[in-house]
Each structure stands twice: as C-alpha cells, then as structure tokens.
Amino acid sequence: GENVEQHPSTLSVQEGDSAVIKCTYSDSASNYFPWYKQELGKRPQLIIDIRSNVGEKKDQRIAVTLNKTAKHFSLHITETQPEDSAVYFCAATITGTASKLTFGTGTRLQVTL
Amino acid sequence: IAGITQAPTSQILAAGRRMTLRCTQDMRHNAMYWYRQDLGLGLRLIHYSNTAGTTGKGEVPDGYSVSRANTDDFPLTLASAVPSQTSVYFCASKVGQNTGELFFGEGSRLTVL
C-alpha cells in the first residue's frame, strides 16, 4: 500500500518568515495530494490540494508543489502569522478506485512573534 | 448545522469493556472512515465504508469492527478494549470514493485503563 513520509516533525519560524513542509510518497499511481490543518483540540480541515496533472497550486499565502518524478510534494506558507500555528498533515491517494487517504505523520508548526 | 457528529467526545474505559463510538453525518455522503490519531503516528485508517451496506479494513483494523446499515451512521466498536487503543478517534466522510475532500468529526478521546 501507499506510504507517506513527512518532514520535519516540528518547525518553528518567526512571524513573517516562510515555512516549508515536505512529503514523499511511495505509490507512483497516487494522483491526489491534499493538505490538512489541525488546530489544537480541533478537527483536521482541508486547506489545499493538488492533482497529478499540475505541478503547482496557490491559494493566497499557501502553495503546494508536486514533483511526480521524484514522488514528493511540498507545502509552502509565506508571510506566516500566529494563526498559522497548527499541525499540518499531507496525504496521498489514488482517485477512481476505492480511494483511502494515507496520511503523513504530521508537522507541528509554531509561528513565534 | 450540517456535518458529522461523534459521540462521546471523551470516555474513560476499563480494559476488557466493550465500547461503541458513534458517528452520524447529515450530508448524504456515501463514503465514511474511521481514523485514530496518535502522537508521532499521524492519522491511521481503521475501517472504511464506500457506501451503505459495505465495509472494508484499513491500516490498523485489529480489535475494531464497524457496520454501515444506512448512509448516515457508521459506528465503531471495540469488542474488548485494551490500553493500546487509547487514542483520539476521528470519523470522516466524503461525497464519494472518487472525490477528494474529507470532512472530519470533532473527534472522540478514548482512554483505556
């Protein structure tokens, strides 16, 4: 089955700096890669996703890049703010089948003032 | 408010006891999932159901069972709880197996002593 590795496990940045979280996946057939944000004590919520037919997707201060050849994808957050502090999970799956998301182990992002 | 409701939100349970975590959604989503979240291990899939009347095993199914008698409800049962099942359990759903976004419930924190 699919295996998703995520790094780093913790990340501390100063407010205004950029943050990058990286994930690799094992199954070359995976074609959908979402990112979830989980604030302390809350449920995970989708913040951005990318499909294998594009290499980059942006939504305001967040962007995701995908390198299918290397089987890795990354989340980029620019101009970080305190409310970006949370745990971020990457995931991968193959759509069009009985798709089940496989999650990475999470990155705890701390944005300091 | 439409969404996913989990119950109980928190429970302390003696080892060996039977426990059912309830999950109900009112979005008419076909696919439903149970994940457990443990520190450093991310979100791991326990069981899933692509449509009412069908269920499947995820990554960590041992010690758990599910049923899907109708579209809205997807209970998770621990037949004889063990301390290693101490975790936060999230129920999730999405429109169909070929689509993307997972909607999560608020989670059920279970402690097995």
- Sign of the C-alpha dihedral computed for residues A95, B37, B92 and A60 taken in this order: negative
| Whether the predicted pLDDT of A100 surpasses 90 | no
pLDDT in tens, A1-30: 889 999 999 999 999 999 999 999 999 999
Q: What is the mean pLDDT of residues A51-76?
A: 94
Amino acid A19: pLDDT: 98
Distance of residue A78 Cα from the nearest chain B Cα, in angstroms? 23
- Best mutation target among A33, A50, A51, A103 (most B Cβ atoms within 10 Å) is A103
| Whether the predicted pLDDT of B73 surpasses 80 | yes
Tell me if chain A has a CB within 8 Å of the CB of B41. yes
**Which string of b and e fits A45-70 if b means at least 16 CB within 10 Å?**
eebbbbebeeeeeeeeebbbbbeeee
| Whether the predicted pLDDT of B99 surpasses 80 | no
Amino acid A25: pLDDT: 97
Q: Write out the E strands in A1-113.
A: 4-7, 10-14, 19-25, 32-38, 45-51, 56-59, 62-67, 72-77, 86-92, 102-103, 107-112
| Whether the predicted pLDDT of B38 surpasses 90 | yes
Closest CB to B101: pick one of A46, A96, A103.
A46
| Whether the predicted pLDDT of A97 surpasses 60 | no
Closest CB to B107: pick one of A43, A45, A46.
A43
Joined tokens for residue A16: 């205004």
Joined tokens for residue A48: 């951005």
| Whether the predicted pLDDT of B100 surpasses 80 | no
